[in-house]
A and B are shown apart, each in its own frame.
Chain A
């Protein structure tokens, strides 16, 4: 079945350092990979996404890379700030039974210390 693995489960960094979160997916037909940020008690919010025809995408301090051959994709946050502290989820979208459904990784709890 479809599966998305995410590592690490927790990540603690000093303000200004970089943070990297990695995910792997099982279904080679996956073609859309969004990243969501969920702050405590709030709904997940999309922060960046990448499609299978692109290897890298950047938006200010956030970047995502995709290796389709290895079925890996990663989130990179540079110059981290305390407000980046949250839980981050990767996801992979697969077409199944006529639907494009999103399967989420287990999440990474990022703590940025001042």
Chain B
């Protein structure tokens, strides 16, 4: 299958600072990227969907000014958690899919465990 690389895998930051997480598709062009948040022993909660070159579409309840998503190229999307607080501590994981609107397999990054202290 295709490879999606997410970086960093773990990050600890101080409350009030910002953290950037990168998601790269290494061997295919990701026309759509998804960002999820996963709490311990819980499901993958979709935060936002982005197409290359377009503004991200955020799910209800997700603050777009807090979770900034940029999908500047067909191989890179970034999620920036701004002014992080302890309640933002979680596992963030991206997935990417190629093609246009036709359904294709979504490949996941390895996830980023964010701890805000």
A residues in contact (CB < 8 Å) with B: 1, 6, 31-32, 34, 36, 42-46, 49, 51, 89, 93, 95-107, 109
Contacts and interface: CB of A to CB of B under 8 A. Distances in A.
21 contacts: A32-B103, A34-B105, A34-B106, A36-B108, A43-B109, A43-B111, A44-B44, A44-B108, A46-B106, A89-B44, A99-B49, A99-B101, A100-B32, A101-B46, A101-B49, A104-B36, A104-B44, A104-B45, A105-B43, A106-B42, A106-B43
The 3 A-B residue pairs whose C-beta atoms are closest, nearest first, are: A32-B103, A43-B108, A104-B44
Range class of the B interface residue count? 20 to 34
Contacts of B25: none
B110 interface: yes
Nearest to A46: B105
Given A34-B106, A95-B101, A102 B46 contact: yes
Given A95-B101, A99-B49, A46 B44 contact: no
Interface of B: 1, 32, 34, 36, 41-46, 49, 51, 57, 60, 93, 95, 97, 101-103, 105-111
A75 to B, nearest CB: 15
A101 B109 contact: no
Given A99-B49, A102-B95, A107 B43 contact: yes
Contacts of B95: 44, 102
Contacts, number: 61
A6 B42 CA distance: 12
Contacts of B57: 96-97, 99
Contacts of A99: 32, 49, 51, 57, 101
A101 B35 CA distance: 11
A106 B20 CA distance: 27
Contacts of A1: 60
Contacts of B45: 104
B18 to A, nearest CB: 24
Contacts of B32: 99-100
